[in-house]
Amino acid sequence: MARKVAVVAAGHSKFGKRYDATMRELCAEAYKPIYDAGVTQDKIDATVLSYAASQFTGQGAGSALMADYLGLQNIPHLRVESACTTGTASLRAAWGMVAAGLYDVMLVLGVEQMNRVSSAVATEYMSQAGDMRWEYPYGISFPAFYALMASRYMYEYDMPHEVLSRISVKSHHYGAQNPKAHLPREVTLEEANNAVPICRPLNLYDCSLITDGAAGVVIAAEDRVKEFTDQPMWITGIGAGASAMMIQDRESLTSIPGAKRAAKAAYDMAGVGPKDLDMVQVHDCFSIAELIAYEDLGLAEPGKGRELIENKEVYHDSRIPVNCDGGLKSKGHPLGATGLSMTYEILKQMRGEAENQSRQIDDVKIGLAHNVGQSGQFVNVFIFERGW
């Protein structure tokens, strides 16, 4: 019988173009609030310290560097990698070790430093997560994969691009209220809809940011939780999914099949459904990804996701708040940190501690994090429940 596991502390660096820091300093920035909350090095049994792509920094064996810099050099550590789901994959791995009884208290920290190379080079590195023989030679960049989904979605549901721009407007509305965000400024619908093209039909404001940053959480077994907090956030549902490597082989381009499977597994494990959720963090690496996530998570029927954004049902004071921290679009997307940034945000919202109370969601009891890697080859869905 697996032990219950809770998130007991979390930390988050400022996201952005962090030319003032390297991955080690970003890790320290994310760990410091955790340390200050009482989770000092001597209380940690083991760590998962991860980043998605070593090409960005050239650093090999990075978890050793991260552990050493944080004063955790004598504590077992490992790195987990699964593209943009690296953060939640690390949390999933750590959860398994704590639930099984191998360790009681673990630090899970994800980081990415992406701005030491140009945007074109960063785009090159990320495109290498496509099939190197059959996709990469055709210059299918990360946004291009999602543009292939967007073209098909817009065709099948006869949807104008403006719907996607409404999602970008929401993301920036909340990013502007988040002091941790990479690009904290509002954009108008007109600006978002008429921005320069990146991978048509997607434009600049449909695309998440190339961001430096780190985020981390501490998890503890049930009988150790009270040593750290009286406001634990239980991990009650974990679902993981996968999808075909080549995007041409997907039966649908208007859904991510692995995300649907991950969501079902997480809902089943937690014994809840989409109607029980008080807030959701989705992997909006592109605006179309957020729209598809509404449907894959069961928040809307296929083809009806647009109604959620058009009716503003996904705003912080509405029916089902989604990404009220700015999401990957405005808060930023440092690959290895993103899933843990989602977890951090849900904990803060649950505790009523949203950074800038103007975006505080009322009375969060259950939250969901949806983290997608590459174009759906990896998916993790977590359900968290308030423990007080």
Partner 1 sequence: MMSEKKELYLGYSSDKAVTPFFQEFLEALDQEKLMKSVCTECGTEFLPPRQHCQKCISLCELKEFTETEAKLRSYVVVDFAPESLTSKAPYVVAIGEFPSGLRLTAHITNLMSVPEVGMALKLAFEHIDDKKLTYKFLV
The count of other CB atoms within 10 Å of the CB of residue 264 is 17
Q: Is 139 in the site for partner 1 (CB under 8 A)?
A: yes
Q: For residue 56, which of 136, 140, 115, 142 has the smallest C-alpha distance?
A: 115
Token pair of 109, please? Answer: 């920290």
Nearer of residues 136 and 272 to partner 1, judged by Cβ = 136
102 interacts with partner 1 by CB under 8 A: no
132-134-137-143 Cα dihedral, nearest 10 degrees:
-80
Binding test (CB under 8 A) with partner 1, winner from 253, 288, 308, 320: 253
Q: How far is the CB of 124 from partner 1 (least distance, A)?
A: 4
**Choice between 201 and 274, CB closer to partner 1:** 201
374 vs 4: CA distance, rounded Å? 30
170 closest CA partner among 179, 178, 160: 178
Q: Could you tell me if 26 and 12 are in contact, meaning their C-beta atoms sit under 8 angstroms apart?
A: no
CA distance 145 to 126: 11
Residues designated as active site: 84, 333
Asked if 2 is part of the footprint of partner 1 (rule: CB under 8 A), the reply reads: no
26 vs 150 by CB, closer to partner 1: 150
Pattern 11-30, partner 1, x by CB under 8 A: --------------------
Asked if 138 is part of the footprint of partner 1 (rule: CB under 8 A), the reply reads yes
- Cβ proximity to partner 1, 197 vs 271, nearer residue: 197
Q: Is 160 in the site for partner 1 (CB under 8 A)?
A: no
What phi and psi values does residue 236 have, to the nearest 5 degrees? Answer: -110, -15
Asked whether position 162 contacts partner 1 by CB under 8 A, the answer is no
Which of residues 2 and 121 has its CB atom nearest to partner 1 in the complex?
A: 121
Query: Using the rule CB under 8 A, is 248 a contact of partner 1?
Result: yes
- The stretch among 75-83, 144-152, 231-239, 359-367 that binds partner 1 (CB under 8 A) is 144-152
Q: Assess 194 for contact with partner 1 (CB under 8 A).
A: no
Question: Which of 141, 193, 349, 360 is the binder for partner 1 (CB under 8 A)?
Answer: 141
CA angle in degrees (0–180, nearest 5) for 132-134-138: 90
- Asked if residue 249 binds partner 1 (CB under 8 A), the reply is yes
Nearer of residues 206 and 278 to partner 1, judged by Cβ: 206
- Residue 58 touches partner 1, criterion: CB under 8 A: no
Q: Which is nearer to partner 1, 64 or 136 (CB)?
A: 136
What the block records as the tokens of 55 is: 């090409």
Query: Interface residues for partner 1 in 106-125 (CB under 8 A)?
Result: 118-121, 123-124
Those residues whose C-beta lies under 8 Å from the C-beta of residue 184, and which sit 6 or more positions away, are: 175, 176, 177, 178, 326, 330
Which residue in the set 44, 199, 238, 308 belongs to the binding site for partner 1 (CB under 8 A)? 199
- Dihedral sign for Cα atoms in the order 37, 38, 42, 48: negative
Residue 351 binds to partner 1 (criterion: CB under 8 A)? no
Q: With binding defined as CB under 8 A, does residue 200 bind partner 1?
A: yes
Residue written as token pair 């810099």: 69
Paired with 281 in beta bridges are: 369
Number of residues near partner 1 (by CB under 8 A): 37
Contact present, 364 and 279 (Cβ < 8 Å): yes
DSSP string across 329-368: HHT---GGGHHHHHHHHHHHHHTT--SSGGGPPSS--EEE
Is 147 among the residues that bind partner 1 (CB under 8 A)? yes
Residues making contact with partner 1 (CB under 8 A): 118-121, 123-124, 127, 132-141, 143-144, 147-149, 151-152, 155, 196-202, 246-249, 253
